[in-house]
Amino acid sequence: MEDLLLLHGTIVTVDKERRIIEDGALAISGDRIVDIGTAEELAPCHAGKKVIDCRGKMIIPGLIDAHGHAGHALIRSIAADTNSLWMRVVTPTYYHYVTRDFWYADGLVSGLERLRAGVTTGASVITSMPRADDPVFAINHARAYTELGLREIVCVGPSGLPWPHPVTRWESGKPERRNIAFEEMIEGSEAVIEAVNGSADGRISVFLTPFTIVPSVEPSNASTPDQAINLTDGDRMQVRRVRETARKWGVRIHSDAFAGQIRMAFQDKENALLGPDIHLQHCWGISHEEMDILAETGTHVTHAPPGRSTPVLEMMARGISLAITSDGASPSRHFDMLQTARLFQSTQHILHNHDRYLLPPGKVFEMITIDAARVLGMEREIGSLEVGKKADIAIIDMRKPHLMPNWMPVHRLIHQVLGSDVDTVIVDGKVLMEAGKVLTTDVDAALDFGQQEALALADRAGLHAHMHDPGWGKLQRTFAEPVKPPQAPDC
């Protein structure tokens, strides 16, 4: 690994002073940033380093996606037009039709999408509802990110109810149906932690991730007060075992939460999945009481726009740390965090608050860099460009018509820059992509493999009924032919 000197770029540091350095320079030794300043100051001091000319470019911290879903990259658009069916389609698909090769292929495709968009750290929940019965699924996903050179948080844990949970495995090439008990999911999660947590020179982490913090109520939407009343024995068992396992291995916890669940979880003061070692995704429709609980416990929150009814500004006003996430790439999303941030800002401005001063571009950019690092407990290592931090960097080519004129760089980032404008990506001081060319894998081969595995999955699951492309003139036929979710195979 060569030491590097980035010269003559505009540096958006996101450091404590939020400095923007014109005609800047940044020096890297090993995996760390060792110097930042102007090109005039640094060039004479780092003569032995390999120079990357950044004229006409912007140098920013590597972007961070603190919540996404593995598997999404290879089922994109399926059931996109039938929102109420989507979870009923994809959950059985993930639990009964995926193979170990599918997860490696998805890791390559999703990792490449993130890499090319300047996302240097990404969380990946293994399926929509976490699946931990076969540790190789998560291990293969991490293997792909390791090969690409990215930083990944692999999220594994127990599924939602019912337990035991039916799954189908394909190691023999034929479907083999099993029922997996809660403790087997914990054991599978521990196997993933043991195998990959801290691997790839520390770039791969594992978070323990139950599907939701209270499994007995609605798992994907808000629960009304008459539904979310008292914790059940199953709720208390899950939270106790998750806490015990996280303490045993020294890992952080991540989960989904919706209205009613936070108030219920707080009933178990000893074990509640609330606190500074946890970040919760969504938090749709939560009450003022629940916001107070999040603030009191120091729990972090992550939000994917448009986010229905997440009280973003109310939480931020209480001092709750909050970051923007992709929530994955399916059915109609992407891993481009700059476009995701733009959607967040516009929905907050236009749909919710009608006030453009509440979330200026600088704050929005923080929510995909240093704020995202904070919710992951990684703010001392990544999320800003500062001496001593990891050299995780994205370099953006600003010499493009849609990015002119070259001024107000933070506004350019949030209002106009696309992931496809990223020119060069560095992680741990290693150049992974340069001048738009990925250096760590054969991109065409990876995409071919991903296409192959996606088609094989569709064949196994019978998903072709969900793959109509209505185009024009076919809408009536599509809507007139309702389709059923895939069923578990007969074994």
Best CA proximity match to 464, nearest among 454, 450, 475, 472: 454
Q: CA quadruple 49, 50, 52, 55: dihedral positive or negative?
A: positive
Q: Which residue has the tokens 């999945």?
A: 273
Per-residue model confidence (pLDDT) at position 474: 45
Q: Which domains occur in the chain, in start order?
A: 4-61+385-438 (2.30.40.10), 63-376 (3.20.20.140)
Whether residue 476 is predicted with pLDDT greater than 60 in this model: the reply is no
Q: Is the peptide bond before 162 cis (omega within 30 degrees of 0)?
A: yes
Comparing 397 with 465, the larger pLDDT belongs to 397
The proportion of the chain whose per-residue pLDDT surpasses 70, expressed as a percent, equals 95
C-alpha torsion 104→110→113→115, nearest 10: -70
pLDDT grade for 478, boundaries at 50, 70 and 90: very low
The 10s digit of each residue's pLDDT in 352-369 is 667 777 899 999 999 999
Per-residue model confidence (pLDDT) at position 142: 98
Six-digit token string for 158: 């127990």
Mean of pLDDT values over 167-177: 94
- Cα–Cα distance between 222 and 262 in angstroms, integer? 11
Per-residue model confidence (pLDDT) at position 414: 96
Mean of pLDDT values over 434-458: 97
Give, as one character, the DSSP assignment of residue 352.
I
Comparing 108 with 219, the larger pLDDT belongs to 108
The proportion of the chain whose per-residue pLDDT surpasses 90, expressed as a percent, equals 84
Per-residue model confidence (pLDDT) at position 483: 58
Best CA proximity match to 71, nearest among 123, 122, 124: 124
Mean pLDDT of the chain: 93
pTM value surpassing 0.75:
yes
- Cα–Cα distance between 220 and 211 in angstroms, integer? 9
Per-residue model confidence (pLDDT) at position 469: 63
The 10s digit of each residue's pLDDT in 222-263 is 898 889 999 999 999 999 999 999 999 999 999 999 999 999
Q: Where are the alpha helices (DSSP H) in 43-99?
A: 86-96
The 10s digit of each residue's pLDDT in 189-202 is 999 999 999 999 99
Per-residue model confidence (pLDDT) at position 1: 76
Give, as one character, the DSSP assignment of residue 130.
T
Per-residue model confidence (pLDDT) at position 308: 67
List the beta bridge partners of residue 170.
none
Per-residue model confidence (pLDDT) at position 352: 65
- Is 208:253 a contact under the CB 8 Å cutoff? yes
Pairing state of beta strands 204-208 and 176-180? unpaired
Comparing 468 with 84, the larger pLDDT belongs to 84
Instruction: Give the CA diameter of the chain.
Output: 71
Per-residue model confidence (pLDDT) at position 477: 40
Per-residue model confidence (pLDDT) at position 471: 56
